[in-house]
Amino acid sequence: MPLIHESYDSLPYIDTQPSPDAMANAYALIAADIKSAGIDMSQPHPAVIPAISSYTPQFSSSVEKEHARLQADPTSKLSAIDLKRYEDLEAPPNTDPTSDESRPELLASWNDALIKAHTSSEYVQSRLTELGLLEKFGKNSWLVGNAQLEDQLKALEAELAAVKKEQEETEEIRRGQQESVGGELRTLEETWKTGVGRVLETEVAAEGLKQQILERRRAGAV
């Protein structure tokens, strides 16, 4: 039959809390031990240094560009999308049947304006479609989304309640186990203290007897 059935790192329901002086003495001993071992507490553990020093973040050119923009002017706004293409376009000067030969740049400007107008038209059309879908199905979608979030919240709350209940049951079992052996531990502690005291008394008596023997030997030699 084993003498030790279970092992506990701490017995909070049996052991008394250490006093502030005892805690200060313990921390002082730990600090002295660390100092004697030559450990520099200001530096991370050697096993952690390679993982920290070898990591260098890598960003894409676009992200680096944005970093530079924010460093230059933190209040500046992102200008990745040119909104001017969606604004009202100004028509180039009027052309005539001979402009293709005499003024080709005018024809190019009309082609560019036509492309921008087509892009703006497609954007507006898709925007209108999205707004129509939002008006027709947005409310129901929002309600369904809220219902799904409520279900997730209820599931999380139920899981949290189950974990809390399990923790309380574990603490109750732990308290019962510690309190059930509390008397035995206190008896063993008192027995240990008594045994240590008797050992010290025996050592003191043996030392006194040794001194008496030495004194009698000296007296007999004289």
- In sequence order, what DSSP letters do the residues of 140-154 get, joined into one string? HHHHHHHHHHHHHHH
- In this structure, which amino acid lies at residue 32? A
Distance CA 65, CA 61 (A): 6
pLDDT truncated to tens, each residue of the chain (222 aa)? 445 555 556 677 777 788 889 999 999 999 888 888 887 777 777 776 666 556 778 889 888 988 888 888 888 877 766 666 666 677 777 766 655 556 777 778 888 888 888 888 888 899 899 999 999 998 898 999 999 999 999 999 999 999 999 999 998 998 888 888 888 888 998 999 999 999 999 999 999 999 999 888 888 776
Domain ranges of the chain: 20-51+103-220
Q: Is the separation of the CB atoms in 31 and 199 below 8 Å?
A: no
- In this structure, which amino acid lies at residue 179? E
Distance CA 39, CA 42 (A): 9
Distance CA 173, CA 154 (A): 28
Q: Is the separation of the CB atoms in 8 and 178 below 8 Å?
A: yes
**What phi and psi values does residue 8 have, to the nearest 5 degrees?**
-125, 135
DSSP character for 21?
H
Neighbours of 116 (CB within 10 A): 15
- Kindly report the pTM of this predicted structure: 0.43
